[in-house]
A = this chain, B = another copy of it.
Amino acid sequence: MSTAFFERHQQTLQNAMEACRSRAYWSAYSERPSPREYGETAAAEGQAAFEGRLDKPFSLEQPGTVGQVGEERSPYGRELGVKYPKADLDALLASVEEGRQDWARASIDTRAGVCLEILDRINKRSFEMAQAVMHTTGQGFMMAFQAGGPHAQDRALEAVAYAYEEMKRTPAEARWEKPQGKNDPLRMEKRYHVVPRGVGLVIGVSTFPTWNSYPAIFANLATGNAVIVKPHPGAVLPLAITVEVAREVLREAGFDPNVITLVADTKDAPVTKELATRLEIGIVDFTGGSAFGEWLEANVRAPVFTEKSGVNCIVIDSTDNLKGMANNLAFTLSLYSGQMCTTPQNIFVPANGIETDQGHKSFDEVAAAITGSLDKLLGEDERAVQILGGIQNDATEQRIAEAAKTGRVLLDSRTIEHPEFKDAHVRTPLIIEIDASEDATYEQELFGPIAFIVRTANTQESLARVLHAARKKGAITFGVYSTDEQVLEAAGETAMKGGVALSENLTGGVYVNQTAAFSDYHATGANPAANSCFSDAAFVANRFRVVQSRRHAA
């Protein structure tokens, strides 16, 4: 059975490995939520499956279950009412330790096959997942479908591809013959075993529960580790569904389902610190705030992979497409109300304005182009709510109110009533003008739909400010607009020094806050925003070790 999964998905894995090497466009899972791709009944079935989850216990039949927890509330307005198993950690970890042994011993191919079968089944449930992601994160439907479904699945597959290639790099066996002059050579037979680190803890985030956790979950599984998934208390359901599917496939393949388990907790009774510092935990992956990420980095002795917060910047120097630039930035700032770790916060514009295809534009005119595009993009409520989604966390709304006091408001944040969900919290971006000297204000991460247009002396100052913020606070994305190759080169230099990915002159359907699996790395690991990226060899290679044996050859 387990070999059958590998055979079924082998070509997909090969394609993924090739894509990682070429970094050309490739995707395994369709991002179009259309009947042609997913079947005529998929949307309705997904909706029904999601609704069937609500106001019920979510059964995973996990050992060490000692009650129920669950406190999710949809940013679109309703309590989900789903209750998850509450774990006795001692009992759960004992079962995980026992259950993981066969998985650790399984062949690399077998494990890869199981991983790809899990992804295939999750893919087929992308409409259900979209609803679960939408009603925990507040993302609009299309984004919840794409980022929560196929894009997350692609990132998972990417991690499996890296892990597979890394494990296969060492041969299972070797024959070693060392010449000894006139004597017979020394002859040894050697065997090399991939040995997982043990149990990987994956700590989820409220905004991208699947997308940000799948690389670690699947890299751990592929390398033979057990996985304990600890979702954010506000976004459990997407990961609970994931764990459910994974357990089902593991069982079918003849493995103990406790290779993957869910540990749910609440904001008032968090278990993450206790879990992360247990001796059984061999790897920790985390997405979330900097304070807790840094605590993990300092206090956990196992390898820790973190994606924390940062301050992303745009530098506007000049453009041959003012309208395209303004529209691109407006969409970027609006998408999911800026609740992405990749959304830019600071847009640096020279005080004297810039050269454009429409002639010289003053600082105020550049700012007005951006706010004008925002007004236009978000002018119709029905369309606006699809782009903006809902505000995931009440703290974000408070932050908008406070941020408005920090500078001159160029565009105030509006509250939009969602035509379909009356209790949804929908907010448009707040745009503030601020002087470059106010770095104490704009170098803080103000998560949510808040952006500064920062008045600098010139592009040189803009780039210096970007570098400073990236090194001090971290950054995941960086955009530049310029018609001058020398400025683009200087921006490239800034990107390398700040360890942040650069997007140049985006004026069309590619946005600075979006990355494509198999081609774009997400984060770099080279500044405080993250100590790793999705995905490269460093993300997978230390999740297993090689233990060898040798004997004289027969």
Q: Which chain A residues numbered 520 to 554 have a C-beta less than 8 Å away from chain B? A: 520-521, 524-526, 533, 536-538, 541-542, 545-552
Q: Cβ of A177: which chain B residues have Cβ within 8 Å of it?
A: 24-25
Q: Is A375 an interface residue (CB 8 A)?
A: no
Q: Is the CB of B551 within 8 A of A504?
A: yes
What 10 A-B pairs have minimum CB-CB distances, sorted nearest first? A504-B551, A538-B541, A502-B549, A23-B174, A526-B545, A537-B541, A538-B542, A25-B178, A25-B176, A524-B545
Instruction: Please pick, from B23, B171, B521, B550, the residue contacting A520 in the complex, using a CB distance under 8 A.
Output: B550
Q: Is A461 an interface residue (CB 8 A)?
A: no
Q: Is the CB of A547 within 8 A of B519?
A: no
A519 to B506, CA, bound (A): 48
Given contacts A23-B174, A520-B190, A542-B525, contact A502 B169 (CB under 8 A): no
A177 to B24, CA, bound (A): 7
Q: Cβ of A521: which chain B residues have Cβ within 8 Å of it?
A: 546, 548
> Least Cβ distance of A87 to chain B in Å?
25
Given contacts A176-B25, A537-B169, contact A549 B501 (CB under 8 A): yes
Q: Cβ of A508: which chain B residues have Cβ within 8 Å of it?
A: 186, 552
Q: Is A195 an interface residue (CB 8 A)?
A: yes
Q: Which residue on B lies nearest to A526, using beta carbons?
A: B545
Q: Is A170 an interface residue (CB 8 A)?
A: yes
Q: Is A358 an interface residue (CB 8 A)?
A: no
Q: Cβ of A232: which chain B residues have Cβ within 8 Å of it?
A: none
A322 to B22, CA, bound (A): 56
> Least Cβ distance of A146 to chain B in Å?
13
Q: Is A82 an interface residue (CB 8 A)?
A: no
Instruction: Please pick, from B174, B524, B541, B548, the residue contacting A24 in the complex, using a CB distance under 8 A.
Output: B174
Q: Which chain A residues numbered 173 to 204 have a C-beta less than 8 Å away from chain B? A: 174-180, 186, 188, 190, 192-193, 195, 197
Q: Is the CB of B21 within 8 A of A169?
A: yes
Q: Is the CB of B500 within 8 A of A547?
A: yes
What 17 new A-B contacts, CB under 8 Å, besides A24-B174, A524-B545?
Answer: A23-B192, A176-B516, A186-B509, A195-B496, A298-B301, A492-B549, A499-B547, A503-B549, A507-B552, A508-B552, A510-B550, A521-B548, A524-B547, A525-B545, A538-B541, A538-B545, A542-B542
A137 to B550, CA, bound (A): 29
Q: Is the CB of B170 within 8 A of A549?
A: no
Q: Is the CB of A166 within 8 A of B537?
A: yes
Q: Which residue on B lies nearest to A524, using beta carbons?
A: B545
A551 to B509, CA, bound (A): 12
> Least Cβ distance of A517 to chain B in Å?
11
Q: Is the CB of A519 within 8 A of B174?
A: yes
